[in-house]
Amino acid sequence: MTDQNSPTEISKTSSIAPRRGILPPIWVWVVVLLLAILVIVVRATGVAGDPAATNVASAVLVFLAGLTFLVWFLLFSGYGRRLRLVALLGLLTAIAAGAAVFRVDRISGELIPGFALRFSPKPDERLEISSGDIVPGSSSPVDMLTTTAEDFPEFLGPSRRMSVDGIELARDWVARPPQRLWRRAIGAGWSAFSVVNGHAVTMEQRGRWELVVCYDLTSGTPQWSHSIATRYESISGGVGPRSTPSIDEGMVYALGAMGHLVCLDGANGECRWRKNLLEQYGIDAEEESKVLPWARSNSPLIVDDLVIVPASGPRDGRKVSLVAYDKRTGDLVWEGGDRQISYSSPTEATLDEVRQIINVNEDSVSGHDIESGRVLWEHPWPARSNADPNVSQPMVWGANRLLLSRGYGGGAAVLELKRTADGGCSPEVVWINPRVLRTKFTTAAVKDGYAYGLSDGILECVDLNDGRTVWKDGRYRHGQILMVRDLILVLAESGEVVLVEATPQQANHVLGRFQAIEGITWNNIALYGPYLLVRNAEQAACYELPLAR
C-alpha cells in the first residue's frame, strides 16, 4: 500500500496540475475579438446615435479590451509576483504622471480630447484686458446709428435666415483668391460677429472678464469694450460666452454665458441697462450648471420695441420660456411659456399670415404672440438640455411651413401651421426623418425647396417636400455654413473656409477653399458685403472675398 504523502505520489500530482502560461489563453483572445467586433459594428452602423457617442462607445470597448489583458496578466498569468507588482505600479505611476503634467485643454465636436501642459495658462488668460489693446471706452464715438444694405446685425444675419442675397461671390478662388485683411488673437468663446456700418461686435472671455468688444471691420482694431467680472468654463463646453450680440438703432444687446443681459451704447460701449436672469428667475450657479451645463447660448432677438431672450428657471420651480424687455429702458414687458430653455435662439416669423416669435424649448417648439408672449401653439420636439440638447434654429419654408433639425440622432421634421379661429396656429407634421440633417451645433439653410446642412459633420442636401436625402458628401465636421445666393460658405471645424455650390444636382461641388484660422472652430460666419468675418476661441480674422464681375 502506497503512502498518500510519498514523494512518488506528490511528483505525479504535480506533473498533471495546470501551468499558468506567459501568453494569454484562448478565453482572453475570444473576449478581445468580441470587443473588436463590437467596435467595428458600432463605428460602421452608427448605432450609438452620432459620431461623438460612437467615439465614446468605441473608447469604452477598447478600454475593456485593454482591461481584459491587464486582469489576465495580474491574476492569471505565469509571470512572477514581483514582476506583476512592478508592472502594475509602473502603469499607475505613468497614469498619475500624465495626469500631473497634462490636462484636457479642449474637446472637439466629436469628443476627441486635446491636451496641454497642466500649469500652462489658457490662451484667453494670456490676453490682458488692461493692456491697451482692449479699451474700456472709445475717445471717438462709433457710428452704429447709420445702417447700410450690407449690415449683418444679428445671429445668422438679417432676419436670422442664415442667408445673404445682396451680393454675388466670384466662383473662381484660384484666379482671384480671397485677401486677408487681418488676423489677430481674441478672447475665448463661441460667439460670432454682428456687423453694422463697418463695426463688428462679438463677445469673448479674457481671464476673469467676460467682454463685449467692438472692432473696426477692415483693420481689426478694438474700438471699445464692456466687461463683467464673470467666467464660464467646462471641459466639454470650453471657456467663455457663446451667444452673438444683436445691434439695433445704435444699441448693442448681448447675453453672457451666465445670464447677464446688457444693453450697451454702440457709440462707446457704455451700459444703458443690465439684467441678471439667474437672479430674476431664482437660479443659483450650481442649479444653472445642472440645468444648462453648456451655459446660455441664446442670442437676443429685437422685435419692434422689445428685446426677447429665453428665461429658464430651476428644475423643480417656476420656468419661463421667453421674457421680453423694453429695449430702451429694460422694463419687463411680458413673460411667455412655461418650458425649460434650450441652446437655440428665438426668431421672428410669419406663418400663414400670423406674425409671431418661434422658440425652440428644451423639449418642444412653440409660437408666441409678439405683443403679449401668449403661446399660440406648441409641438413636441424631444430633447434634454443637460444631455442631448436642442441647439439648431427653426427655419421658415414657404408661407406656412417650418423646418426643425437637431443633432444627437434627432434628425429633422417639417411642420405645417394653419391659422385657427382664435388667431393662433395649429401645427401638423408633414414629415419626420431621424436620419437626415443631424445638425448638432449648426442650422440648416433653406433654398428653392431644399435644405443644406452639416449632418453629423457631413454636408447634406435634403428635399423638403419628403425629407429624402438628395446627396451627402464632404466631411467638414462640426463647423458652420452661410448661404450666399446659390453658393454655400462652409467654415469647417478645422478653421478652413470652403466655397460650395448650392445645388441638388451635384454633391459637394467645391469651387474653392483656404485655411482662414487655426484651431477648433464652432463659431458662426458673418458676411458684410465682400468682407468675411470668422473666429474661434483663440483667433479672429477678416477676409475680402472676390465678387462676381
State the pLDDT at residue 11. 45
Q: Flag whether pLDDT at 12 surpasses 50.
A: no
Domain membership of residue 536 (yes or no) is yes
Residues 89-104 have a mean pLDDT of 92
Residues 48-60 have a mean pLDDT of 87
User: Is 312 found in the same domain as 421?
Assistant: yes
Composition of the chain by helix, strand, coil, percent to 5: 15, 40, 45
Q: Among 92, 117, 142, which residue terminates a domain? A: 117
Domain membership of residue 80 (yes or no) is yes
Structural domain that includes position 79: 21-117
Residue type at 130 in one-letter notation: S
User: Is 404 found in the same domain as 278?
Assistant: yes
Count, residues in the chain: 549
Distance CA 364, CA 379 (A): 6
Distance CA 382, CA 299 (A): 22
Q: Among 117, 152, 181, which residue terminates a domain? A: 117
User: Is 105 found in the same domain as 142?
Assistant: no
Identify which has the larger pLDDT, 16 or 514. Answer: 514
Distance CA 356, CA 306 (A): 13
User: Is 181 found in the same domain as 94?
Assistant: no
Residues 24-46 have a mean pLDDT of 92
- Of 159, 522, 210, 130, the closest CA to residue 348 belongs to 159
State the pLDDT at residue 132. 43
Domain membership of residue 233 (yes or no) is yes
Q: Which residue do the cell numbers 444693453 mark? A: 263
Domain membership of residue 169 (yes or no) is yes
Q: Which residue do the cell numbers 488692461 mark? A: 130
Cell of 249: 438703432
Percentage of the chain lying above the pLDDT 90 cut: 83
Domain membership of residue 15 (yes or no) is no
Q: Among 89, 117, 145, which residue terminates a domain? A: 117
Residues 269-279 have a mean pLDDT of 97
Q: Flag whether pLDDT at 187 surpasses 90.
A: yes
Among 36-40, 181-185, 329-333, 504-508, the least confident range: 36-40
State the pLDDT at residue 19. 58
- Helix/strand/coil for 81: helix
Domain membership of residue 1 (yes or no) is no
Residues 154-183 have a mean pLDDT of 96
CB-based contact 498:490 (threshold 8 Å): yes
State the pLDDT at residue 10. 43
User: Is 293 found in the same domain as 156?
Assistant: yes
Q: The domain that contains 273 carries what CATH number?
A: 2.140.10.10
Residues 253-258 have a mean pLDDT of 98
Q: What domain count does the chain have?
A: 2
Distance CA 517, CA 460 (A): 24
State the pLDDT confidence band at 360, using cuts at 50, 70 and 90.
very high
State the pLDDT at residue 337. 98
Distance CA 523, CA 155 (A): 11
DSSP sequence for 216-264: ETTT--EEEEEEEE---EETTTEES--S--EEETTEEEEE-TTSEEEEE
Under 8 Å CB-to-CB from 220, ≥6 apart: which residues? 181, 182, 183, 184, 540, 542
Phi, psi of 75 (to 5 degrees): -110, -25
Burial of 441 (0-12, 13-18, 19+ CB in 10 A): buried
User: Is 466 found in the same domain as 318?
Assistant: yes
State the pLDDT at residue 138. 54
Residue type at 190 in one-letter notation: W
Among 10-14, 289-293, 382-386, 456-460, the least confident range: 10-14
Domain membership of residue 136 (yes or no) is yes
CA–CA distance from 103 to each of 96, 98, 332 (Å)? 12, 8, 44
Residues 504-532 have a mean pLDDT of 97
- Helix/strand/coil for 76: helix
User: Is 79 found in the same domain as 176?
Assistant: no
State the pLDDT confidence band at 288, using cuts at 50, 70 and 90.
very high
Tell me the per-residue pLDDT of 109-148, one tens digit each, with 9 for 90 and over: 888 888 888 888 888 988 866 444 566 555 689 999 999 9
Q: What is the mean pLDDT of the chain?
A: 93
State the pLDDT confidence band at 2, using cuts at 50, 70 and 90.
very low
CA–CA distance from 151 to each of 190, 273, 348, 357 (Å)? 21, 25, 18, 22
Q: Flag whether pLDDT at 475 surpasses 50.
A: yes
177-201 as b/e, with b when 16 or more CB fall inside 10 Å?
ebeebebeebbbbbbbbbbbbbbbb
User: Is 154 found in the same domain as 291?
Assistant: yes
User: Is 210 found in the same domain as 101?
Assistant: no
User: Is 132 found in the same domain as 87?
Assistant: no
Tell me the per-residue pLDDT of 361-416, one tens digit each, with 9 for 90 and over: 999 999 999 999 999 999 999 999 999 999 999 999 999 999 999 999 999 999 99
- Measured in whole angstroms, how far is the alpha carbon of residue 410 from the centre of its chain? 15
User: Is 160 found in the same domain as 112?
Assistant: no
Domain membership of residue 13 (yes or no) is no
Residues 246-274 have a mean pLDDT of 98
- Of 399, 303, 289, the closest CA to residue 345 belongs to 303
State the pLDDT at residue 14. 43
Distance CA 518, CA 527 (A): 19
User: Is 319 found in the same domain as 457?
Assistant: yes
298-308 as b/e, with b when 16 or more CB fall inside 10 Å?
bbbbbbeebbb
